[in-house]
């Protein structure tokens, strides 16, 4: 039995606690009385995943069995979550591969021969052939790539189709092939409560025109949090779009969830609670830390990105998106949710080396912002772990480093836009259209491996709610110039950071450390 989530109160017996800090980690002694939020222990994985997939396809919720939806002469489009999920990447075979293989077998059995596979990458960069192959597996890749296994292209006007408008006037426009298929099978991995369900097709296959209705400052500021769909304006918009889609396209959604086994055996200490480290864990910690420090930076990055997670699969559920997703969410929360008693003056997070947009890439400063103030700050239900006007302290070096192929518009955004303003509304008003419609960025998104021009702005909006809520943001170990450009502060140690935070929260603040990854979601009562 896995133990539930847990809030530790730091006392004199508490050891130094593990803190992720980019492509490294450290042990940090937190002040006495600090609270530490741990997620529930990793749940056991399903023993026979293939059997679970078969069962899910044969007995879906809100849809007939998959085999009954398949027939010769039909157009079948299989869409799958892209490289941004899960984090870190999972050890192969990827669950998407396993699900897709089952779907293809069923399709073949029914004589379906018009099958296309599409990565639901929305405005993310295209997946490389190697990345596609890793996700769908060798066999599928060899049979379908390149003509029938593709990335979605949100700028291919010919191959987009407007489905209609929601009652709020939101345009729903998705991939034409998918829209004109008799059946869309969506294969997802729901890593956080934010993703999956109504989001899958409406976002993964959408165009900028359609995305701008929910990917904006106003919506993000009213998504409290965006990991709590009932209280997320963003999800309300997804729901409206998904409802419209349901009237027009037939989606068979297959959702999967993973447990919290995010680091491989040799780094198992990263999955554990510190006071339970055995001698082997302690030795491993020292060995890994030392090796990590010794290796040259480029190599270090490569090693981290090649380190795949030995996730266990905690659920495979299929059916109508609106019926499957609640089951999926339950599975996610079962693994991630920990109840916390009220917010504190200061929230602390250690930022890992990865976020959804730097897989096999570089975590640039904008991504650091979106990981910290976007993803991690929003890992809550009810209220943030920091009180309004409180201080967020993050651990990350925030180097001024960008991947020139993956993030070209990010560089311009950092150098030009942030030099002028860091206010999300001002940025949206003055710069969004420029970045979204710039032909060069569009060219690089379509033909190279670049994120869409507008993507860095979305990343900034992702932090808009936190920016409004917090009194100060401090990066321990952060590059001073880079953090300043973004409107934040840097401190060399936690002591310094707490000293800097004093003007906002006084000299004896309450402190909560949200210990993640593995992912912990706080239910703040």
Partner 1 sequence: MKQVALEYHRSVGRYLAGRAITGTRLGGRAAGSVAAGLAPLRVVQRPDPTLPASGWTRVRPLLSGICGSDLGLLTGRNSPYLASLVSMPFVPGHEVVGETLDELDGLPRGSRVVLDSVLGCVTRGLTPCASCAAGKHGRCDNITTGHLAPGIQTGYCADTGGGWSRQFVAHRTQLHAVPDELTDEAAVLVEPLACAIHAVRRADVPTDATVLVIGAGTVGLLTVLALRAFTKAGPIMVIAKHARQRERARELGATEVIGSDRALRTLRRKTGGFVVKPEIGEEFLLGGADVSFDCTSGSGLTTATRATKAGGTVVMAGMPNTDVDLTPVWFRELTIVGGYASSGEDFPDAISLAQDAPLGGYVDAVYSLRRWSEAIQHATSAGRLGSMKVVFNPRLD
Verify binding: residue 416, partner 1, rule CB under 8 A: yes
DSSP 8-state symbol, 358: -
DSSP 8-state symbol, 448: S
Beta strand pairing call for 489-491 and 472-476: parallel
Q: Which of 116, 438, 479, 523 binds partner 1 (CB under 8 A)?
A: 438
Verify binding: residue 105, partner 1, rule CB under 8 A: no
- Least separation in angstroms between residue 524's CB and partner 1 is 42
Verify binding: residue 479, partner 1, rule CB under 8 A: no
Verify binding: residue 440, partner 1, rule CB under 8 A: yes
Site stretch for partner 1 (CB under 8 A), options 74-82, 268-276, 292-300, 437-445: 437-445
Nearer to partner 1, 349 or 414 (CB): 414
Verify binding: residue 261, partner 1, rule CB under 8 A: no
Q: Which of 51, 68, 415, 503 binds partner 1 (CB under 8 A)?
A: 415
Nearer to partner 1, 437 or 492 (CB): 437
Give just the sign of the alpha carbon dihedral 317, 318, 323, 324.
positive
Scanning residues 59 to 88, which ones bind partner 1 (CB under 8 A)?
none
Site stretch for partner 1 (CB under 8 A), options 95-103, 255-263, 293-301, 412-420: 412-420
Verify binding: residue 275, partner 1, rule CB under 8 A: no
Residue 240's alpha-carbon distances to 180, 202, 237, 321, 424, in angstroms, are 20, 10, 5, 13, 25
Question: Who's near 472: CB < 8 A, 6+ residues apart?
Answer: 391, 392, 489, 500, 501, 504
Which residue in this structure is represented by tokens 């400063």? 365
Q: Which of 167, 439, 506, 507 binds partner 1 (CB under 8 A)?
A: 439
Q: Say how many residues touch partner 1, by CB under 8 A.
A: 9
Nearer to partner 1, 444 or 470 (CB): 444
Verify binding: residue 411, partner 1, rule CB under 8 A: yes
Nearer to partner 1, 352 or 408 (CB): 408
Distance of alpha carbon 115 from alpha carbon 108, whole angstroms: 10
The DSSP annotation for 51-99 comes to HHHHHHHHS-BSS--HHHH--TT-EEEEEEE-TTSSSSPBPSSPHHHHH
Site stretch for partner 1 (CB under 8 A), options 370-378, 435-443, 483-491, 498-506: 435-443
Distance of alpha carbon 514 from alpha carbon 512, whole angstroms: 6
Verify binding: residue 412, partner 1, rule CB under 8 A: yes
> What SS3 class is residue 131?
helix
> What SS3 class is residue 243?
helix
Distance of alpha carbon 197 from alpha carbon 62, whole angstroms: 13
Nearer to partner 1, 61 or 411 (CB): 411
Query: Site residues (CB under 8 A) for partner 1?
Result: 411-412, 415-416, 434, 438-440, 443
């Amino acid at each position: 039995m896995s133990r539930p989530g847990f809030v530790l109160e730091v006392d004199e017996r508490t050891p130094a606690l593990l803190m992720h800090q980019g492509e490294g980690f450290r042990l940090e002694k937190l002040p006495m009385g600090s609270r530490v939020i741990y997620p529930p222990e990793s749940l056991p994985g399903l023993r026979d995943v293939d059997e679970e997939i078969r069962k899910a396809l044969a007995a879906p919720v809100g849809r007939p069995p998959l085999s009954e939806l398949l027939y010769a002469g039909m157009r079948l489009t299989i869409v799958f979550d892209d490289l941004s999920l899960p984090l870190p990447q999972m050890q192969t075979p990827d669950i998407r591969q396993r699900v897709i293989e089952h779907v293809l077998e069923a399709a073949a059995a029914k004589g379906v021969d018009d099958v296309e596979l599409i990565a639901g990458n929305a405005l993310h960069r295209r997946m490389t052939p190697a990345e596609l192959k890793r996700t769908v597996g060798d066999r599928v890749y060899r049979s379908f790539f390149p003509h029938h296994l593709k990335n979605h292209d949100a700028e291919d006007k010919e191959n987009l189709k407007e489905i209609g408008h929601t009652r709020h006037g939101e345009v729903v426009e998705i991939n034409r092939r998918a829209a004109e298929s008799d059946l869309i099978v969506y294969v997802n991995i729901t890593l956080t409560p934010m993703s999956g369900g109504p989001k899958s097709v409406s976002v993964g296959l959408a165009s900028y025109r359609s995305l701008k209705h929910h990917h904006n400052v106003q919506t993000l500021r009213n998504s409290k949090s965006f990991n709590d769909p009932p209280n997320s304006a963003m999800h309300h918009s997804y729901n409206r779009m998904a409802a419209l889609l349901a009237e027009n396209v037939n989606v068979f959604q297959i959702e999967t969830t993973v447990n919290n086994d995010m680091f491989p055996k040799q780094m198992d200490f990263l999955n554990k609670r510190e006071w339970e480290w055995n001698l082997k864990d302690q030795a491993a910690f020292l060995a890994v830390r030392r090796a990590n420090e010794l290796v040259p930076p480029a190599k270090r990055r490569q090693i981290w990105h090649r380190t795949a997670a030995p996730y266990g699969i905690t659920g495979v559920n299929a059916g109508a998106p609106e019926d499957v997703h609640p089951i999926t969410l339950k599975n996610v929360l079962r693994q991630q949710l920990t109840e916390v008693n009220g917010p504190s003056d200061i929230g602390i997070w250690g930022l890992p080396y990865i976020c959804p947009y730097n897989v096999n890439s570089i975590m640039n400063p904008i991504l650091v912002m979106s990981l910290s103030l976007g993803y991690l700050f929003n890992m809550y239900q009810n209220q943030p772990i920091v009180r309004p006007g409180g201080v967020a302290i993050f651990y990350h070096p925030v180097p001024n480093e960008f991947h020139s192929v993956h993030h070209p518009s990010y560089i311009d955004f950092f150098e030009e836009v942030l030099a002028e303003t860091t206010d999300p509304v001002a940025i949206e008003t003055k710069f969004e259209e420029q970045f979204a419609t710039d032909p060069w960025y569009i060219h690089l998104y379509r033909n190279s491996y670049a994120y869409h021009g507008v993507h860095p702005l979305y990343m900034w909006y992702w932090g808009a709610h936190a920016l409004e809520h917090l009194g100060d943001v401090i990066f321990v170990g952060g590059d001073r110039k880079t953090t300043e450009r973004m409107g934040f502060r840097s401190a060399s140690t936690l002591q310094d950071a707490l000293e800097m935070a004093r003007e906002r929260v006084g000299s004896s603040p309450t402190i909560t450390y949200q210990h993640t990854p593995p992912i912990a979601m706080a239910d703040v009562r």
